Amino acid sequence: MEMNGARIIIECLHEQGVDTVFGYPGGAVLPLYDALFRYGKMKHILTTHEQGASHAADGYARSTGKVGVCIATSGPGATNLVTGLATAYMDSSPVVALTGNVAVPLLGRDSFQEVDITGITMPITKHNFIVKDVKELAHTVRLAFRIAREGRPGPVLVDIPKDVETSLCDYVPLQPLEPRKNRYPSPQAFQIAADMLGQSERPMFYVGGGVIRSGASRILQDFLEQVDAPAAVSLMGGGAIPVDSPRCTGMLGMHGTKVSNMSITDCDLLVVIGARFSDRVISDADRFAPQARILHIDIDPAEIDKNIGTHCHLVGDVGQVLEGLSKTIGKKLKHKAWMEEIARRKAKYPIRVSHESRRPKQIIDAISTQLPRGSFVCTEVGQHQMWASQFLKHVEPGHFITSGGLGTMGFGTGAAIGTQCGNPTARVVSIAGDGSFKMSCNELATIARYKLPIVIFLMNNHTLGMVRQWQSFFFEKRYSETTLDTKIDWVMLAKAFGVHGMRLSVNDDPEKVVKEALEHGGAVVVDCEIPIDDLVYPMVAPGAGIDNMLGVDEVTD
């Protein structure tokens, strides 16, 4: 059947099972929006800003496991997607961005609203395309979806000149392209890894977001039981292991637990699964796991030996690899003395909550206690993000949606929109800081427009808290441009957008206010006042070894 390029795009989206797209119209995508209006059977969410659309597509992808889709026009519309694409790229989130561009004859002529968006996004996408011939359009869109979801997921951008959207071409429907098979380790590699685990007396696991992307959390938990070992999680790995498990030592790295960092320093074998040795995890590479041999399991061969040298690596889908390794080991290992030492350390070194983080912990404890099973928690970036990662009780893997690799302030509100759209019956909350929320509060208009029952808990300390914390520790308390003393009434601002606003003062009972907010039934912004100098502890100073931590309280009784 002959149809124009814009309709071909819509038909290809239907082929891929897309039910929701996020975007903002403009001149270069008018044919696409016309086709969406005339032929689309999917929901379009009009965000307030293109960056919000990219974060929403990302949140949708992370929370559903599907590919998130966002649309933007040429020029500034396309460049407004850049931060969101970089965020998705750093955290391995499958997103397809469709951008319009000027007509093919106008490319490269500095035409109105023209940018080389494929050149701009080349370093921050898994792949990108510009389609200059309508005959290549359907195959390119299909290929973009396959690339986004296969192997290590990531964002893909397809740039479509306006005349390609209006050109005619025969369209033949096809089933989605099958992803290519993942690499799988050799029997010899499995045996080397099994021998390393069998010879170890103090094995320690470092678990990253790849476990969640793979859907391998249950497999990992069974494997930890088989090899009788503890595990620490990265920020992106939060929820991969139940926090109340005796095997879970909490987060590791700059704001990790003393138990995790100390145990990684003391272990004789470090098994790294679906993680990339981020600098926020390893700090001083020369002092990271100095006594350990390293076994790295990851789907992306580019991550092997990139930051830390390994003694053995298994490249492949982590769930499939763990199942293969389990069969190779073939028996239950025992590390009783090591697990008893881990238990002693967990009792001796709790996360510090004396006065530096008491109020944030009280608020997050109240949120965690009252959220129903199956809820999703999104965050912005900063101190509140670290407190959430430390104190939240993650109920299920993949339900903690945060920007890890890029650390994008302004991520949380858009991500919550995408998460709620992808999970309409689930409770979605966003934990934000006042600095981050100022960058994304315009998306309250989107929340109100679509009546999304998102509850935003605004941890309001009237400062850029994490930056101020660094200024306190390392810049002799010179608080250069980090105090947010603009008098913003967040409750009134929420009401201006048509969203319910509430206050939680430092003297209010968090349980009562959180309960009221969650029972409201609609969108709510809760302005939670916290002291300006509440700190995130523990903390590793830049350049220090991860076992050299500031702010650790020891239980001696």
Query: Is there a single domain that holds both residue 306 and residue 400?
Result: no
What is the structure's pLDDT at 557?
44
Q: 113, 191, 226, 370: which one is catalytic?
A: 113
Task: Answer whether residue 353 is part of any domain.
Answer: no
What is the structure's pLDDT at 551?
84
Total tally of structural domains belonging to the chain:
3
The Cα–Cα gap between 330 and 345 comes to: 30
51 part of the active site: no
466 part of the active site: yes
Task: Answer whether residue 556 is part of any domain.
Answer: no
What is the structure's pLDDT at 439?
96
What is the structure's pLDDT at 542?
87
Q: 37, 112, 474, 475: which one is catalytic?
A: 112
Tokens 């990851």, located at residue: 298
CATH number at 377 reads 3.40.50.970
The Cα–Cα gap between 316 and 325 comes to: 12
Query: Is there a single domain that holds both residue 337 and residue 204?
Result: yes
The CA-based angle 175-178-181, given to 5 degrees, is: 170
The Cα–Cα gap between 228 and 241 comes to: 14
Query: Is there a single domain that holds both residue 128 and residue 158?
Result: yes
pLDDT tens string 404-421: 999 999 999 999 999 999
Query: Is there a single domain that holds both residue 432 and residue 456?
Result: yes
C-alpha distances (whole Å) from 155 to each of 26, 32, 177, 373, 407 are 22, 20, 17, 30, 17
Task: Answer whether residue 545 is part of any domain.
Answer: no
Task: Answer whether residue 303 is part of any domain.
Answer: yes
Kind and range of the H or E run holding 96? strand 95-101
Query: Is there a single domain that holds both residue 281 and residue 408?
Result: no
Q: 90, 236, 459, 466: which one is catalytic?
A: 466
Task: Answer whether residue 193 is part of any domain.
Answer: yes
What is the structure's pLDDT at 351?
78
pLDDT tens string 109-138: 999 999 999 999 999 999 999 999 999 999
What's the pLDDT band for 292 if we cut at 50, 70, 90? very high
Least Cα distance to 317 among 149, 205, 155 occurs for 149
Least Cα distance to 128 among 141, 115, 138 occurs for 141
CATH number at 251 reads 3.40.50.1220
pTM of structure = 0.96
Task: Answer whether residue 180 is part of any domain.
Answer: no
Task: Answer whether residue 456 is part of any domain.
Answer: yes
- Rounded mean pLDDT of the chain? 95
Contact 400, 371 (CB under 8 A): no
Query: Is there a single domain that holds both residue 336 and residue 397?
Result: no
Instruction: Look at residue 356 and tell me whether its pLDDT is greater than 70.
Output: no
Query: Is there a single domain that holds both residue 344 and residue 362?
Result: no
Domain that holds residue 111: 2-170
What is the structure's pLDDT at 353?
63
What's the pLDDT band for 40 if we cut at 50, 70, 90? confident
Query: Is there a single domain that holds both residue 386 and residue 367?
Result: yes
Least Cα distance to 112 among 102, 127, 124 occurs for 102
Amino acid at 205: F
Query: Is there a single domain that holds both residue 280 and residue 400?
Result: no
Tell me which of 70-79, 308-317, 546-555 is least confident: 546-555
Instruction: Look at residue 84 and tell me whether its pLDDT is greater than 70.
Output: yes
Instruction: Look at residue 354 and tell me whether its pLDDT is greater than 90.
Output: no
Domain end point (choices 324, 348, 372): 348
Q: Hey, which residues does 378 pair with through a beta bridge?
A: 401, 430
Domain end point (choices 170, 199, 221): 170
The Cα–Cα gap between 462 and 415 comes to: 23
The CA-based angle 42-20-79, given to 5 degrees, is: 120
What's the pLDDT band for 178 if we cut at 50, 70, 90? confident
113 part of the active site: yes
Query: Is there a single domain that holds both residue 375 and residue 435?
Result: yes
Q: 66, 126, 162, 361: which one is catalytic?
A: 162
471 part of the active site: no
112 part of the active site: yes
